[in-house]
Amino acid sequence: MKVQRLTILGATGSIGVSTLDVVARHPDRFDVVALTGHRRIDILAEQCRRFKPRYAVVGSHDDAARLAAMLAGVGTEVLAGPGALCRVACLPEVDAVMAAIVGAAGLPPTLAAAQAGKRVLLANKEALVMAGSVFMNAVKQAGATLLPIDSEHNAVFQSLPAGFAGDYARHGVHRILLTASGGPFRRTALADLEKVTPEQACAHPNWSMGRKISVDSATMMNKGLEVIEARWLFDADPGQIDVVIHPQSVIHSLVQYVDGSVIAELGNPDMRTPIAHALAYPERIDAGVAPLDLFAVAQLNFERPDLERFPCLALAYRALRAGGNAPAVLNAANEVAVEAFLDGRLPFQRIAAVIAATLDAVPVAPADDLAAVLAADAAARVAAQGALP
């Protein structure tokens, strides 16, 4: 077995920590070459002492100096800034890159890894939402391997036939069904949503995640971003992707075939399963996840999403159908609105309105290169700031 050499972008976050948990279970299989973290220098220092990477990357030069002092004698070279993120994403000695930075900041290094032909383990859905066509072209041109970490897309990947390359007719694939938990507010009275606090929005019933994706789950923008992510990963038409609310989060997604078969992937809601799947693919390794106990689950329920309760889901379909730069605009507006909500500057119920106003304000244009994507992102951030109270 060849040892796989890894860069983990966003090592200090929820996905990064789960990735290192799986890696630590298989010291013979994986070698950590680079770890990155933006602010939690203490956590990154601890990770560096344990995994002894060749490089660590932080956001600022001040933090780099602090981290280097904490790591005296460890043998890790400390770098800083966005350029260093791209550098460790395409080191010649690295085989696979876990893309687990949250938000648009993750796009440049994730794209760099694809352009360098790496095996890209994609958690950073925002990168694909913003730059779908640019990213997929880079993967194709460089011969990179793209493996989805998002639990729904990992489930779809596992439920599609081997060798599926977007040829729906040949493989008899009818449609993709993405499951959604419905988040913490699935049953909350609409009037009560006005007063929702960041703490309530971040308390997800089934999954433990970073704050931004937790708010996205509460608005269901997360599912909207995932519909766009599925469009690119599986070369699907918007009409071939449906969303099903499944509150138990045991079925992680499904694929319907023309003969009536439906194939799904099930498991406990623990991100170490898709992470281990992608890390070892096409082999299987222990992820540290408890076996699914169907008797304890007892029931699997399904509901149609309510677009009045979850207008963000409709906005994502709108951006997907508009095409071009619209998904990048949607994503940037959402990042601005979620940050404002988390800072107490925007009521939960106004998040969708800020995004809708931004989609109205920024004209749809082609987004066939990184410069066009970043220009749309920047214009949307200005428009979204202007739409805040």
Binding residues for ligand NAD, rule: CB under 6 A, are 10-16, 37-39, 59, 100-102, 105, 123-126, 150, 207, 209-210, 212-213, 271
What does 114 bind: ligand NAD, Mg ion, none (CB cut-off 5 to 8 Å by kind)? Answer: none
If the CB atoms of residues 35 and 173 are measured against ligand NAD, the closer one turns out to be 35
Residue 126 beta carbon to ligand NAD: minimum distance, rounded to whole angstroms: 5
Residue 204, annotated ligand binder? yes
Residue 214, annotated ligand binder? no
Stretch that binds Mg ion, among 66-74, 145-153, 183-191, 365-373 (CB under 5 A): 145-153
If the CB atoms of residues 209 and 329 are measured against ligand NAD, the closer one turns out to be 209
If the CB atoms of residues 173 and 271 are measured against ligand NAD, the closer one turns out to be 271
If the CB atoms of residues 288 and 368 are measured against ligand NAD, the closer one turns out to be 288
What does 123 bind: ligand NAD, Mg ion, none (CB cut-off 5 to 8 Å by kind)? Answer: ligand NAD
Residue 301, annotated ligand binder? no
Nearest-CB residue for ligand NAD = 13
Residue 150, annotated ligand binder? yes
Residue 154, annotated ligand binder? no
Residue 12, annotated ligand binder? yes
Residue 205 beta carbon to Mg ion: minimum distance, rounded to whole angstroms: 14
Q: What are phi and psi of 354, to 5 degrees?
A: -65, -40
If the CB atoms of residues 173 and 249 are measured against ligand NAD, the closer one turns out to be 249
With CB under 5 A as the contact rule, the residue among 150, 216, 229, 377 that binds Mg ion is 150
HEC states along the chain? CCCEEEEEECCCCHHHHHHHHHHHCCCCCEEEEEEECCCCHHHHHHHHHHHCCCEEEECCHHHHHHHHHHCCCCCCEEEECHHHHHHHHCCCCCCEEEECCCCHHHHHHHHHHHHCCCEEEECCHHHHHHHHHHHHHHHHHHCCEEEECCHHHHHHHHHCCCCCCCCHHHHCEEEEEEEECCCCCCCCCHHHHHHCCHHHHHCCCCCCCCHHHHHHHHHCHHHHHHHHHHHHHCCCCHHHEEEEECCCCCEEEEEEECCCCEEEEECCCCCHHHHHHHHHCCCCCCCCCCCCCHHHHCCCCCECCCCCCCHHHHHHHHHHHHCCCHHHHHHHHHHHHHHHHHCCCCCHHHHHHHHHHHHHHCCCCCCCCHHHHHHHHHHHHHHHHHHCC
Two structure tokens written together for 248:
């138990």
Residue 266 beta carbon to ligand NAD: minimum distance, rounded to whole angstroms: 17
CA distance 109 to 97: 9
Residue 179 beta carbon to ligand NAD: minimum distance, rounded to whole angstroms: 13
Cα 150 to Cα 4, 52, 124, 227, distances in angstroms: 21, 27, 8, 12
Torsion of CA 156, 161, 165, 171, to 10 degrees: -110
CA distance 184 to 167: 37
Q: How many residues bind Mg ion (CB under 5 A)?
A: 3
Residue 110, annotated ligand binder? no
What does 37 bind: ligand NAD, Mg ion, none (CB cut-off 5 to 8 Å by kind)? Answer: ligand NAD
Residue 126 lies near Mg ion (rule: CB under 5 A): no
If the CB atoms of residues 56 and 213 are measured against Mg ion, the closer one turns out to be 213
Residue 202 beta carbon to Mg ion: minimum distance, rounded to whole angstroms: 16
If the CB atoms of residues 209 and 220 are measured against ligand NAD, the closer one turns out to be 209
Residue 303, annotated ligand binder? no
If the CB atoms of residues 256 and 331 are measured against ligand NAD, the closer one turns out to be 331
Q: Which residues contact residue 279 at a Cβ distance below 8 angstroms, ignoring those fewer than 6 apart? A: 4, 19, 22, 23, 30, 96, 121, 285
What does 213 bind: Mg ion, ligand NAD, none (CB cut-off 5 to 8 Å by kind)? Answer: ligand NAD
Residue 2, annotated ligand binder? no
Residue 217, annotated ligand binder? yes
The binding site for 1-deoxy-D-xylulose 5-phosphate comprises 125, 151-152, 181, 204, 217, 222-223, 226
| Interface with Mg ion (CB under 5 A) | 150-152
The binding site for Mn(2+) comprises 150, 152, 226
The binding site for NADPH comprises 12-15, 39, 124, 126, 210
